[in-house]
Amino acid sequence: MLKKAKAGHYAVGQFNINNLEWTKAILQTAQDLNSPVILGVSEGAGKYMTGYKTVVGMVNGMLEEMNITVPVALHLDHGSYEGCLKCVEAGFSSIMFDGSHYPIDENVEKTKELVKIAHDNNMSIEAEVGSIGGEEDGVIGKGECADPEECKMVADLGIDFLAAGIGNIHGKYPDNWEGLSFETLDSIQQKTGDMPLVLHGGTGIPEDMIKKAIDLGVAKINVNTECQLSFAAATREYIEAGKDQEGKGFDPRKLLKPGTEAIMATVKEKMELFGSVGKA
């Protein structure tokens, strides 16, 4: 999926899921737009949904019942070593091992072990060098720029795609954010060649920066907070308009509908920006 994206100069969106509405909204949008898609599951979201086996059951059920024919990957986001093993067992199609907080030798050692395990199970694996700033589900990063030499070292371990810190941050960007370091991205791409690169912290990055990042070898872009903000705003509007108190407006299928539709609109906007529409 990502080799094709890199060769075709577009990026596939990873949209993080939290529950049934999220998953349904993302899958339906991908199918409507004929776009490949990656469903991201953080360890926190996995726990929230009662465990990885529930997630696999829900996603596989939806793929069948919703007649989804576009390529879909189910991917662990920022996994620990143990989390990766659990997702292999549960039947995910892809894992991310985030060893960026370990000294580089330890990151390399653990990534190497997980590459073998993932590939023995026909799964793909993402690794990370240089932590992504901000906080996501308890995973806190300082927002550093990765060392291109270390990126090359990890890319050579046989991983399928590489997340490298280039000044990106999870969550909303602060007003004084300096922007992505294209210089770092360019030297990472030069050292790692065909390796698809991953841009985390997709929420709030200006369009021109997204396009430039794709030009410089980014083939996967992660979006999480932006769907949460869209969902929350639409749900707030529904409640504030008193619609939950009209007729059967309290029915969860009605109450959660505006939020679900808002997620669909955000995912559509991102797929159009990333260039993945029609690329299934």
Determine the size of the site formed for ligand 13P (CB under 6 A). Answer: 16
Q: Does residue 44 interact with ligand 13P by CB under 6 A? A: no
Report in angstroms how near the CB of residue 228 gets to ligand 13P at its nearest: 8
230 scored as a contact of ligand 13P (CB under 6 A): no
Q: Exposed e or buried b for every residue in 183-197, given b needs 16+ CB within 10 A?
A: ebbbbbbebbeebbb
Give the whole-angstrom CA distance, residue 115 versus residue 126: 9
Which stretches does DSSP call E strand in 18-160?
37-42, 72-79, 94-97, 124-129, 134-136, 139-141
Decide if 41 contacts 55 (C-beta within 8 A).
yes
If you search the block for the tokens 């007649």, which residue do you land on? 67
Among 152, 170, 220, 279, binds ligand 13P (CB under 6 A): 170
156 is catalytic: no
Quickly tell me which residue has 């349904």 as its tokens. 24
Per the residue annotation, which of 77, 98, 147, 160 is the catalytic one? Answer: 77
Query: How far apart are alpha carbons 22 and 26 in whole angstroms?
Result: 6
**CB of residue 191 to ligand 13P, shortest distance in Å:** 22
Give the distance, in angstroms, between the CA of residue 93 and the centroid of all CA atoms in the same chain. Answer: 14
Least Cβ distance, residue 269 to ligand 13P (angstroms)? 13
Task: Using the minimum distance from each CB to ligand 13P, give the nearer residue, 141 or 258.
Answer: 141
Q: Is 80 among the residues that bind ligand 13P (CB under 6 A)? A: no
Please say whether the beta carbons of 219 and 196 come within 8 A. yes
Three-class SS state of 149: helix
Give the residues across from 79 on adjacent strands. 97
The least CB distance from residue 165 to ligand 13P, in Å, is 11
Whose Cβ is closer to ligand 13P: residue 238's or residue 274's?
274
Paired with 126 in beta bridges are: 96, 161
Alpha-carbon distance of 90 to 74, in angstroms, equals 11
Among 31, 94, 189, 203, binds ligand 13P (CB under 6 A): 203
Minimum distance of ligand 13P from residue 59's CB (angstroms): 17
Q: Is residue 152 part of the contact set for ligand 13P (CB under 6 A)?
A: no
Residue 132 or 238: which CB sits closer to ligand 13P?
A: 132
Q: Site residues for ligand 13P, window 128-147 (CB under 6 A)?
A: 136
Q: Decide: residue 206, CB within 10 A, 0-12 exposed, 13-18 middle, 19+ buried.
A: exposed
Asked if 220 is part of the footprint of ligand 13P (rule: CB under 6 A), the reply reads no
Asked if 226 touches ligand 13P (CB under 6 A), the answer is yes
Q: Which is nearer to ligand 13P, 165 or 202 (CB)?
A: 202
Minimum Å gap between C-beta 172 and ligand 13P is 8
Main-chain dihedrals φ then ψ at residue 76, nearest 5 degrees: -75, 130
**In terms of CB distance, is 36 or 201 closer to ligand 13P?**
201
The site for ligand 13P (CB under 6 A) is made up of: 16, 40, 77-78, 136, 170-171, 200-203, 222-226
Residues designated catalytic: 77
